[in-house]
Amino acid sequence: MQCRHCGASYSEDDNYCPDCGRKVGGHSASSSGLETHHSAYKGEYAGFWTRFIAYIIDGIILMVGLHILGVALQTTLLQFTLYPDPTTSIQRSIAGGIVGLLYFVPFEGATGATPGKMFLGLKILKENKEPITYVTAIIRYFGRIPALLIFGLGYIWIAFDKKKQGWHDKIAKTIVVNT
């Protein structure tokens, strides 16, 4: 059978096209249990710029949070982040990694979206259209490392991939969709 949206082949047991993610097939989604998880899923992959804006929103939230935490601790965490001492680059990298881990994994694991993604109506799902787990969120988080290593090519990849997946999505077997 062929998808009427993108022309890709799918089996008669598939409810969603394996290439474009849109609803296909003659079976009802509720018979496979997908309808309960994806009743708001439009079948469209979120593009590069929408995801980039969501990431900027998350970055602003993190910066404000670090500033408030710094004021509460009577230190200048924001200055620590913006004006680093070259001798502490390893500590900054570790601290930034921990802060990111504590922000992204709980939001993505619990809801499938960070506040930036929620604001823009995006959701992270497994490639099979099921909700992601905390384990998947952790794999996805650490998948960002290779995505950044080669001049951010793993993120730029989103703009050219037919499923709009970055390298971290491919590693974790996730997709980001419009809801």
Q: What is the mean pLDDT of residues 106-120?
A: 97
Joined together, the tokens standing for residue 33 give 């249990």
Looking at the fold, whether 90 and 141 belong to one and the same domain comes out as yes
Q: What are phi and psi of 99, to 5 degrees?
A: -60, -45
Looking at the fold, whether 106 and 174 belong to one and the same domain comes out as yes
Beta-bridge partner residues of 123: 177
Q: What is the pTM of this model?
A: 0.71
Q: How confident is the model at residue 4 (pLDDT cuts 50, 70, 90)?
A: confident
Cα separation of 121 and 69, whole Å?
A: 28
Cα separation of 131 and 110, whole Å?
A: 9
Longest dimension (CA), the chain: 63
Q: How confident is the model at residue 30 (pLDDT cuts 50, 70, 90)?
A: very low
Tell me which DSSP letter residue 47 carries. P
Tell me which DSSP letter residue 43 carries. S
Looking at the fold, whether 20 and 76 belong to one and the same domain comes out as no
With a cut of 60, say whether residue 143 has pLDDT above it: yes
With a cut of 60, say whether residue 149 has pLDDT above it: yes
Looking at the fold, whether 19 and 35 belong to one and the same domain comes out as yes
Dihedral sign computed on CA atoms, order 32, 36, 37, 42? positive
The domain of 93 spans 40-178
pLDDT digits 0-9 by tens, 51-105:
999 999 999 999 888 777 766 665 555 555 555 566 566 777 777 888 899 999 9
